């Protein structure tokens, strides 16, 4: 199935560092979501973006809806050990008469204390 | 409300056996989705219900797969004659808006041996 491209695939950072990751697509989306998934669990919604250019924060997390509507970015400031996990972007698509989200390939984050 | 509940959490089955998974969505959510996630990948859409009606099925959902949502409440996903390639995490999600974020369950991890 179709998946969005996320980069980097994985990253190791020191506790306290800022993190940036992005998600790109060849298609235009009208809604972007960012999820975090921990081992053995389902994804948990972090941030939802509904408008091109929108910048939304949730604590230390900030996400932006790209102007072209083909990309989105997630930043984590002052990382802590519990930020470890896989971060997925998701874009809302409308095909076969229904809306559904297509997910990215994920960015795996590891934080070194 | 305890969120989206999936059972069982883990299932190991022999190739050729049938398996059934259950999802209980958040009670006020009329939309229910099944996704499949293989190792190192993001979730991939399988099927979507609005109330009891199954409105879309992905091409990933072969004829060995069937999903139901009787009375628009819980949903079941059945896989007949399982194959090793069916090994994956099966995620259920629900929502009350078409374009809002989904709430995911913790998933059912299927291992076919």
In this prediction, residue A5 carries a pLDDT of 95
Binary contact (A45, B103; C-beta < 8 A): yes
Q: Which of A98, A102, A96, A87 is nearest to A29 (CA)?
A: A102
Q: Which of B6, B23, B35, B42 to substitute to test the interface with A, most A CBs within 10 Å? A: B42
Of B43, B101, B106, the CB nearest to A103: B43
> 3-class SS at A81?
helix
Of A1, A42, A98, the CB nearest to B60: A1
Burial class (CB in 10 A: 0-12, 13-18, 19+), B29: middle
* Two tokens, residue B32: 């229910």
- The full length of chain A comes to 113
Using the structure block, give the residue that is written with the tokens 């999820």: A35
Mean pLDDT, chain B, rounded, equals: 94
More confident residue, A35 or B61: A35
Task: Give the model confidence (pLDDT) of B95-109 as tens digits.
Answer: 988 778 999 999 999
In this prediction, residue A1 carries a pLDDT of 59
Task: Give the model confidence (pLDDT) of A30-83 as tens digits.
Answer: 999 999 999 999 999 999 999 999 999 999 999 999 999 999 999 999 999 999
What distance separates the 2 farthest-apart alpha carbons in chain A? 47
In this prediction, residue A52 carries a pLDDT of 95
């Amino acid at each position: 199935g179709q998946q969005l491209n996320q980069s980097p695939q994985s990253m190791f950072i020191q506790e306290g560092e800022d993190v940036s990751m992005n998600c790109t697509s060849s298609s235009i989306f009208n809604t972007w979501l960012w999820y975090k998934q921990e081992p053995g669990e389902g994804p948990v919604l972090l941030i939802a973006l509904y408008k091109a250019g929108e910048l939304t924060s949730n604590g230390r997390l900030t996400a932006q809806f790209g102007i072209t509507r083909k990309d989105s970015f997630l930043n984590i400031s002052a990382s802590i050990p519990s930020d470890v996990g896989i971060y997925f972007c998701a874009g809302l698509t409308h095909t076969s008469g229904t809306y559904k989200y297509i997910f990215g390939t994920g960015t795996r984050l590891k934080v070194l204390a | 409300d305890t969120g989206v509940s999936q059972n069982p959490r883990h299932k190991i089955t022999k190739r050729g056996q049938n398996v059934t998974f259950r999802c209980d969505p958040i009670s006020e959510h009329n939309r229910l989705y099944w996704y499949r996630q293989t190792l190192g990948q993001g979730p991939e859409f399988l099927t979507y219900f609005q109330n009891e009606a199954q409105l879309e099925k992905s091409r990933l959902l072969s004829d060995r797969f069937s999903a139901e949502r009787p009375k628009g409440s819980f949903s079941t996903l059945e896989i007949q004659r399982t194959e090793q390639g069916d090994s994956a995490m099966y995620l259920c999600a629900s929502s009350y808006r078409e374009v809002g974020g989904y709430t995911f369950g913790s998933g059912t991890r299927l291992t076919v041996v």
